[in-house]
Amino acid sequence: MKSLLKFITCGSVDDGKSTLIGHMLYEAKLLFADQERALELDSRLGSRGGKIDYSLLLDGLLAEREQGITIDVAYRYFTTDNRSFIVADTPGHEEYTRNMAVGASFADLAIILVDAKKGVITQTKRHTRICALMGIKHLVLAVNKMDLVNFDPKIFDAIKQEFLQLTAEFHFESIQVIPVSATEGDNITKKSPNTAWYEGLALLPYLENVDVHQNDNAKQFMMPIQRVCRPDHTFRGFQGQIEGGRIAVGDELTTLPSHEKAKVKRILVGDQDRDYAYAGQPVTIQLDREVDVSRGCVFTKDSQIQEADSFNATILWMDDSVLTPGKNYLVKVGTKVLPGTVTAITHKIEINTGKTVPTDHIVKNELAKCEFSLSDKIVIDSFEQNKSIGGFILIDRVTNMTSACGVIEQTLQGSDKVVQLDTEITREVRAQQKGQNPLTLWFTGSVSDQSALAKEVEKRLVSTGHHTMLLKNGQGESLQRLAEVAKLMNDAGLIALVSNDSPIENDQAARDIIGQEFVEVYVNRTVAGSSSTNTTPGNPEIVIDTSKFSIEEAANYVVKRIIKYLINESSRGQFLNF
């Protein structure tokens, strides 16, 4: 069976990516007769004065042909005598960096094009970093439009040296630099007489021979579960693609995160029974006994795979909105999706220099290192060790759009997380002992007034025999950790009063962590002379305007309202104004 190479083309706008692949397919006779004829006819109305416009083979959208640029990722499948290929022709415009990252996520090798007249530019550096981020280990730098610089070897060598300096920090396994002319065909399928000084292979022969495949079968067996197949009551199989290692009938598997063990009773590849299966194959596995397995679980023979609910990672932010700490998203790792929060932005990475810059926010197309906390533990690994459970995407919970892609670097455990031990003394027992229902009063809004109000409310609660704890953001304290501490206070049977000066729109993340014990008190302060009050954010349970009442009066009102939360669960969630 021929080996398969998955590769992408990337580079700046008008560097000739689509033309390069189109010319390769045309010259290597890898087109059907009707495709070749259609290309020749379409080229008569193109921008090359009747000459064949090879980019039309990949730029199929009307907007792409009108503007002469690639907008969407175009996939092509072709086979030579030596190898099979899947190529993703990706956009070069900065606006479509998201599309380029999508193409890079599937590839084993990247062809990065540069214009011989322009050399290495910012977009070249951006795409190189994204390729490294997505785990691509093999690069080809195609120095295009050499015909426009008279095939000058000095220009080629200067670009080559600059690119090799750029890539030194990334530890790519192989880098090949090839001088080409996408429009004229130099060094595309065969060596060009115009570059007698170039000693390497032409592009297509190089792609046919480069070795990019690691020995995945030598790794420990690992398979994320994509689907549970149950056509009738007699069969229950677990489907997914083997991401590493080898499995055979009779082998014992461990199911994560439940850690149940079972033996492989049957392996199906398609509808055919097999005695064994290996990395890269989609399979259905039937076990010899019933275990608790659903989509997102992982089969493994390696008990060392990690489970964690927090990690740090490098991400490419792809959303039009600004990312700030405290925002809540859906996090998809492997086949598992669950809520998660960006707890901190450590720094961003400058595209041109690679230097790290401290920041508290990032914008579209920026690279940054961030910390994340998930709603539950999940099976994960570093991207370097395991791509399938080391890469992830962030999904906007409102629009369902992909906001970022990223790679996990390490889990955060030990002192980085507050851990509560299992015990027979439950929250209910502690609450009964104190004669109250646990509650978190989350004060937001006017910073000075909410802090004073929280203190005054606590005084009144303590004076009536309630057990409380007052919390406030410390310097550098994340909203995530503040909410986790408040939840622990509730588990202890206490009433937690939290004075929070984080951005109001981030409070939903705290509500998700704390759960039904969460009561938001929004402290609004109308500006003198204003014709209307400020817009109330989200859906707070209590709203109070401290410009109309003293702190003491406001505290009396809050206490009256929260008594019903402490003694009557059914009234929780009312929207109240004062």
Just list the catalytic residues.
502
Sheet holding 74-79, edge to edge: 74-79, 84-89, 4-11, 109-115, 138-144, 174-179
Q: What is the rounded CA–CA span in Å between residue 97 and residue 131?
A: 12
Q: What is the rounded CA–CA span in Å between residue 485 and residue 373?
A: 14
Sheet holding 439-445, edge to edge: 468-472, 495-499, 439-445, 518-524, 542-545, 576-577
SS3 54: helix
Q: Which of 348, 367, 256 is nearest to 302 (CA)?
A: 256
Q: What is the rounded CA–CA span in Å between residue 113 and residue 385?
A: 29
415: CB partners within 8 A, 6+ apart? none
Q: Would you give the distance in Å from CA 515 to the centre of its chain?
A: 26
User: At which residue do the structure tokens 């785990």 appear?
Assistant: 135
- Measure Cα distances from 185 to 85, 103, 155 in Å: 20, 25, 19
> What secondary structure, in 3-state letters, does 121-147 show?
CHHHHHHHHHHHHCCCCEEEEEEECHH
Q: Indicate the burial class of 117 (C-beta count within 10 angstroms; 0-12, 13-18, 19 or more).
A: exposed
SS3 174: strand
